[in-house]
Structure 1
Amino acid sequence: MTNTLSISNVEPLEVREYFDNFIGETIKIYNQKDELIGKGRLSIDFHAFNVGLYTQSGNPKLSITIKELDVKTLNDNYKLFSIVNLNSNYYKLEISRIDLENSDGKLKGKAELNKIRISLTTLDDYEHFRTYTQSINWEKIKLPDEFAGKDKVDEAGAFEALCLDIIKEWGGKNLEIIGKGADRARDGCFYVDAHAWIPIITDYSNRWVLQCKYSKDYNNLLISEIYNEITKVLMHKPDYFLLMTNRKITNDFLDWFNALKDTKYHIPFKCILINKTQIEQVLAEPGMSHLKRKYFG
């Protein structure tokens, strides 16, 4: 579900000569575990870039900003990765370590020159990168043929069907729709009795409850919404509560969700979140391309 970053052994190129070609380009953001957490767009003051490179002695630092983030991020140490096409030559940018702070919805920090690496790469690598960085137009999600003509099945219902199809591809078994009421196409719960199906946590049989949250407009996901849903699924006695969503995750929500394991909440199961960026990464995998075509054309 996540793809990892590895610094290549290809002979590096001169950073001063090629770095400005990555300004304004899409860049992938990895955490300290080398897990992809999101993407944004690289920005830098061009004048400061040139002055800094040619006037600073020793190991100069470049001020870097990542804007247009597709996921909420915390102040942390990250790795950055991008590939550009210059006249049919493909160049890869890797920044191995950089401390970035979240400021006004942007990540900002300074990268040491010796932590920046640019090298030649292949067309296959470039096309792979492009596939993984193309955003999905979630407003245009399509209803599968099997839902055609059925009442109360809208885009949110299609999103639920997509999530179920992903789980089936991961090997989920005994899927059963539960807890459906008047809003059955919006925030339905699903029961999953799986055996080692999700590639991030478990290696034994367990019970999962899946909650899907969809929005055309990328609205913020509220703590109150999910807390109410979690209390409803207690009766099903799951081992895990899995939340899949294309909605915006705020830092406050993420802090609260990660803290659900604390004893003060008395939640007797583990809670897992798969966000919009992670779902898009799953759909970009070659083995999932049929699902992307099924729901987005």
Structure 2
Amino acid sequence: MKGNHEGLQARWTHLYRDYLPALAKARDPVQKTWPVFLDHCFARIILDNAVGEDRPWMEVIKQPAVKNMSASQLEAAIGLAEKIATGNANLVDLNDKSLQMRGKKRKAVDTPATQAPKAKKERRSTGTISSYFLPSPSSPKREAPMPDEESTAIKPSAKTMNSDSDLMDMSVQLKRIADSSITPFRKRTLSLLCEIPRGRYSTYQAMSDYITKTSHKTCARAVGNAMRNNPFAPGVPCHRVLASDGSLGGFNGHWGEDGKFASEKHRLLYEEGIRFDSNNKVKGPPFREFRSCLWLPSSG
């Protein structure tokens, strides 16, 4: 249970500290208005509404919240954060409610015309990702199922299929990868993850086969090492990559069903429609339809 609690803490921290601020700064259309951009503002709004409910969260639990929330409180906070990230919860309304709890009013600057604060200048790497790699709104939502997929895997719901917001999010993630200082091989590998649709999975071997075919020789182990401690997870979905034998594979630096974060990887996959049999082997064929891993050296 301790491992699962730590997984919830990691998930919550990533959502409010990295993922939601990235969406806000990119002005992702999933929210018509982004009234806040900073991580502590997202934490305030979500914790007041999910944990405090009718009062500021500090009156319910001690600070720091991440260390003092129960599993159910973490799940509530994560659930609300994910609703904000998918447009199923209105951030402006939640912010107003939070401010009312604290006896404050929303400032005039919290309007659609407000400019996001300038992000700290990052050290740019020596490469960029070709615009051809960015997902196209005209791309198919999901590949047609293989003959045995209908009988072995649960059909994904509309929530698991790639939507326009999913495509926009992948564009955001690709830019984050391109602007980072990680190695070119890690950029190539992590960028490939952005092609795996919700409701599908791939394998380390399938990814290494594609890179070997289109770029240079590599192996499944090298691909796995490149994804260790993925700094962009879960937005860049390394959880959708499994071992070639259909078993769970690695996640967050740990391997297999006994890994520290195995339950978290299972949860993420289950929510996207991926199912495993009684032997903990995944159902359905792996995604291999990679087509645009064109990471090119910068001309500058």
TM-score interval, smaller chain = under 0.3
> Highest relative contact order (Cα 8 Å, sep 6+), 1 or 2?
2
Tell me which structure has the larger Cα radius of gyration: 1
Choose between structure 1 and 2: higher strand proportion: 1
